[in-house]
């Protein structure tokens, strides 16, 4: 059983396509198919069900996949450790972030990281804060940037506070509130809101503030993507409470100060286990050493 065969299986499982898997692995499809067929003969079981319309894992394939991932990850970690021993950072770095992260200019940090360590590979995923904490805890990603209510702190991970900020109200230019310079939560409670889904950390910042003030509000539109949330606000469908640094990058929006605004804390988090060389180098760029 060869490591490359496992990589091919992982690629097919993740793309649900032999063609796309071959493109990802930079091989011709016939070579990839041959290697997977060879592995199936060695294992004595088919790993994929193939039809003219789709490819999917068999029960045997689903059982094989986690172990294959572990083997490939272990091999890559071993190669990265050897490289680090001779002063070279390489291997995979998985980073997660919320769409509205503002305390760190992530693209510029990644640019600097790539310039210093061109042989390291970075995968970047966007998600909700609570999901990112769990992914770091499980070792699926190594570093993540979050935004959570001031009353919360990420659990089960290492964390460094990066910034605190008060949210602002955002409306379309033709909204009745657009002419106001400031409002309070009581005034906003009569408005229709566009917000993130209930029970997410991004939503909790506002929910907790209204609850603490003894107020309720109507969230008529729930959106999982912050960029699309802003588009709904721009279309005049409601009010949103967003971080000011994120709003600064949006066009066609009117920002209003909220006198008793909810606040959030931005954290960078990483796992408690030993860091990979790539993760250690990335955190060092953020000013985080051997914590």
DSSP string, 116-181: H-TTEEEEEEE--HHHHHHHHHTTS-SEEEEEEETT----SSEEEEEEEEE-EEEE-TTSTTTT-S
Average pLDDT over residues 132-148: 90
Residues of the chain with CATH 1.10.10.10: 3-72
Q: Are 133 and 269 in contact (CB under 8 A)?
A: yes
Angle between helices 277-285 and 106-116 (to 10 degrees): 130
Q: Are 211 and 204 in contact (CB under 8 A)?
A: no
Pick the closest to residue 104 from 157, 168, 161 (CA basis).
Answer: 161
pLDDT at 85: 56
Average pLDDT in the chain? 87
Residues of the chain with CATH 3.40.190.10: 90-162+266-286, 168-261
Q: pLDDT tens across 55-82, in order? A: 889 999 999 988 888 887 777 777 666 6
CATH of domain 3-72: 1.10.10.10
Q: Are 47 and 18 in contact (CB under 8 A)?
A: no
Q: pLDDT tens across 149-190, in order? A: 888 889 999 999 999 989 999 999 999 999 899 999 999 999
Pick the closest to residue 287 from 112, 114, 91 (CA basis).
Answer: 112
Pick the CATH number of 168-261 from 3.40.190.10, 3.90.1150.10, 3.40.50.10440, 3.40.50.2300: 3.40.190.10
What topology does CATH give the domain 90-162+266-286? D-Maltodextrin-Binding Protein; domain 2 (3.40.190)
pTM: 0.68
């Amino acid at each position: 059983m060869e490591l490359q065969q496992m990589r091919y299986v992982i690629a097919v499982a993740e793309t649900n396509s032999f063609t796309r898997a071959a493109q990802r692995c930079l091989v011709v499809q016939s070579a990839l198919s041959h290697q997977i067929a060879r592995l199936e003969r060695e294992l004595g079981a088919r790993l994929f069900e193939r039809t003219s319309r789709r490819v999917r894992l068999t029960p045997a394939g689903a059982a094989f996949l986690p172990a294959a991932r572990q083997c490939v990850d272990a091999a890559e970690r071993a190669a990265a450790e050897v490289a680090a021993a001779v002063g070279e950072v390489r291997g995979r770095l998985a980073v997660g972030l919320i769409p509205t992260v503002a305390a760190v200019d992530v693209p510029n940090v990644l640019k600097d990281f790539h310039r210093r360590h061109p042989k390291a590979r970075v995968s970047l995923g966007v998600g909700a804060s609570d999901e990112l904490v769990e992914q770091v805890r499980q070792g699926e990603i190594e570093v993540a940037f979050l935004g959570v209510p001031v009353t919360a702190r990420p659990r089960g991970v290492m964390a460094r506070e990066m910034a605190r900020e008060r949210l602002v109200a955002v409306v379309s230019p033709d909204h009745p509130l657009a002419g106001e310079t400031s409002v309070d939560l009581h005034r906003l409670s009569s408005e229709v809101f566009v917000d993130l889904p209930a029970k997410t950390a991004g939503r909790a910042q506002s929910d907790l503030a209204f609850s603490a003030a003894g107020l309720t509000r109507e969230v008529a539109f729930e959106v999982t993507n912050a960029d699309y949330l802003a588009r709904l606000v721009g279309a005049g469908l409601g009010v949103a409470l967003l971080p000011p640094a994120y709003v600064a990058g949006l066009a066609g929006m009117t920002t209003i100060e909220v006198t008793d605004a909810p606040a959030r804390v931005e954290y960078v988090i990483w796992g408690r286990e030993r860091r990979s060389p790539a993760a250690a180098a990335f955190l060092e760029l953020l000013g985080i050493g051997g914590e």
